[in-house]
Amino acid sequence: MNKIKILMTYKNTEGLEKLLNHPQVQIDIKPKPDSEDFMNLIKGYDALLIRSEVRVIEQVINNADKLKVICRAGTGVDNVDIKSATKKGIIVMNVPGGNTISACEHTIGLILSMMRNIPQAHALLKSGIWDREKFIGSELQGKILGLLGLGRIGSEVARRMLSFGMRIIAYDPYVSEEYGRQIGVEIKSLDEVLCEADILSLHLPKTESTKNLLNKETFSKMKYGVRIVNCARGGIVNEQDLYEELKSGKIASAALDVFDKEPTTSSQLFELPNVVVTPHLGAATEEAQTKIANEVADMLIDYFFSGITRNAVNIPSCDLDTYKKMQPYVGLMEKLGSFQGQFVEGGVKEIDIEYIGDFHKLNSYILTASYIKKFLDCFVDIDLNLVNAPVIAKERGIKVVETKVSENKEFKETVSIKVITDKETTSILGTIFSEKNLRIVEIDNIYSDIEPVGYILSFSNTDKPGIVGKVGTLLGENGINIAKMFVARDKKGGRAMTFINVDSEIKKDVLDKISNMDGVTRVKFIKL
């Protein structure tokens, strides 16, 4: 087996020992490549391991020829073009939570530094000046701390700041009032938080909708003398507008760990006495880095050597136990996808998947994506996987509808799949008898017992004597052994469909002969 090649764009390898010492892994460290180098470097690598020092833009992703995973050793994935990665079938993983406490403690350090002018006083005293008048600070007790984002870091900041005697309010559209109550935080609207906070601290991701969230207009809603803390991401606060409000005194002070462009050593904000800055140090503790590196090593080893995807941000992933439990179901969905991909006729418009009974409790993204991957594999020439298959289906105008019903029919767990094309609508019902015993138990609403494995000859005919016999004789004459056979029919003398599991491939001339038999239509040779 060829070694798994990993390109790492930062230097610190502490905590990555499991990966570094793995006999089938090669790690090449190329710290902070510029964008030109990066585009060439990426070729030939199976995985990319980054922090926030590089931007993984569309051109880098398009230049990658083997890349399967982009792993962000940290939380924020705003430096990765996730849309382009997804389209190319590349999994983007992050390590959420590993640096929560470090980022939380750094935020609190920034708040205290800002309120008591600690860095400014420190610098002045070290330059030989003892000045107590200049650095009159403010207490935290009794003040209102407004949090934008009440996820992992926001919540930890809230818990700790309560002990300073602060009142905590927060805006987070995805968090319930009940959760807020449990941790002592009042959940409010964005405008309420902007209007009421004495200190506003940011703990939300940078996305298209949060970029420039704090700007001239939102600053105008705030109290005179408000203080701003950003330990989340640069660009959520408009730096030019912040500069002007700090100069005017509307904003009393700011503490910033992150900047629009990083690294940066010159900014007009650095010239202001009421601004405290650090160079993106939120996660820079030994504990956080080791925790994250250990997790990165486990995640990449699990992915490449056990096929387990964890912490993916562009597909829902699952833990090891769930992954194992899902395997037979994934197997069934793959077989059904491949079966229908070869069985249906016409341009595909819609695929309706209904998970029934116990099936509905499983991770349906993985099941549906497994089906679509195998379905599309029958007619598109793209390297498909669970990440890009749903995207490619959408791009080709195929609508995928997923529903779940808890009550089962005859079988404990079934999946019903209807494919609508511009020529026909066909449906199948699949189930699992045991891990290796998969079945199609209905086809076009007619009871069936088809084992979706190996080679299947399928043909439709009017239900009359002799046809199946003739096909059997022809197969025998051509040395093709029949393993199993099922004839499904809607009614006596009505429409019949025959499915024959055979032991070897059937040549085109034999299939043509079957097609030409009187009463036979729709001959398909399905390879599973």
Return the structure tokens found at 128: 């030989």
Q: Report how far residue 351's alpha carbon sits from residue 426's, in angstroms, rounded to the nearest whole number.
A: 10
Closest CA to 352 of 363, 335, 332, 336: 336
Within 396-496, residue ranges assigned H as helices are 467-477
Q: CB of residue 155 vs ligand NAD: minimum separation in angstroms?
A: 8
Please state, in angstroms and rounded to a whole number, the distance separating the CA atoms of residues 208 and 217: 18
Q: What are the distances in angstroms from CA 190 to CA 149, 209, 334, 402?
A: 10, 13, 46, 34
Identify what 150 binds: ligand MLT, ligand NAD, none; CB under 5 to 8 Å per kind.
ligand NAD
Query: Rounded CA gap, 367 and 351, in Å?
Result: 13
Cis geometry, peptide bond prior to residue 263 (ω within 30 degrees of 0): yes
In the bound state with ligand NAD, the residue whose beta carbon lies nearer, of 150 and 438, is 150
CA distance 273 to 270: 8
- Site membership for ligand NAD, residue 296 (CB under 6 A): no
Query: Given the complex with ligand MLT, which of 228 and 231 has the nearer CB atom?
Result: 231
Residue ranges in contact with ligand MLT by CB under 6 A: 51-52, 74-76, 99, 282-283
By a kind-dependent CB cut-off of 5 to 8 A, residue 51 interacts, out of ligand MLT, ligand NAD, none, with ligand MLT
Q: How far is the CB of 110 from ligand NAD (least distance, A)?
A: 10
> Among 143-151, 268-276, 340-348, 361-369, which window interacts with ligand NAD (CB under 6 A)?
143-151
**Is 148 among the residues that bind ligand NAD (CB under 6 A)?**
yes
Report the alpha-carbon distance of residue 67 to residue 90 in Å, rounded.
7
> What distances in angstroms separate CA 342 from CA 438, 524, 527, one per listed residue?
18, 8, 8
Smallest gap from residue 111 Cβ to ligand MLT (A): 18
- Rounded to the nearest whole angstrom, what is the least distance from the CB of residue 230 to ligand MLT in the complex? 12
Q: Is 149 in the site for ligand NAD (CB under 6 A)?
A: yes
- The conformation of residue 176, written as its DSSP 8-state character, comes to -
Nearer to ligand NAD, 176 or 240 (CB): 176
Between 77 and 419, whose beta carbon lies closer to ligand NAD? 77
Report how far apart, in Å, the C-alpha atoms of 458 and of each of 343, 428, 462, 526, 528 are: 9, 14, 14, 8, 13
47 three-class SS: strand
Tokens representing 255 are 């503490």
199-202 and 186-187 strand pairing: unpaired
For the bound state, the minimum distance from the C-beta of residue 99 to ligand MLT, rounded and expressed in Å, comes to 5
- 99 forms part of the interface with ligand NAD (CB under 6 A): yes
* CB of 284 vs ligand MLT, minimal distance in Å: 7
Contact between 413 and ligand NAD by CB under 6 A: the answer reads no
Partners of 399 in the beta sheet?
350
Residues 6 or more apart from 158 whose CB is under 8 A from it?
145, 147, 150, 168, 170, 183, 184, 185
Out of 89, 109, 146, 151, the only residue in the binding site for ligand NAD (CB under 6 A) is 151
Number of residues that bind ligand NAD (CB under 6 A): 32
Nearer to ligand NAD among residue 81 and residue 377 (C-beta)? 81
Among 258, 292, 308, 415, binds ligand NAD (CB under 6 A): 258
The rounded distance, in Å, linking the Cα atoms of 402 and 15 is: 42
Nearer to ligand MLT, 259 or 375 (CB): 259
Residue 228 engages ligand NAD in binding (rule: CB under 6 A): no
Q: Which of ligand NAD, ligand MLT, none is residue 257 near (CB under 5 to 8 Å by kind)?
A: ligand NAD
- Applying CB under 6 A, does 459 fall inside the site for ligand NAD? no
Any contact of residue 54 with ligand NAD (CB under 6 A)? no
Catalytic residues: 233, 262, 280
- Of 100, 253, 289, 368, which lies in the binding site for ligand NAD, with binding defined by CB under 6 A? 100
Q: Which residues bind ligand NAD (CB under 6 A)?
A: 75-76, 96, 99-100, 103, 148-154, 171-175, 203-206, 209-210, 231-233, 257-258, 280, 282-283
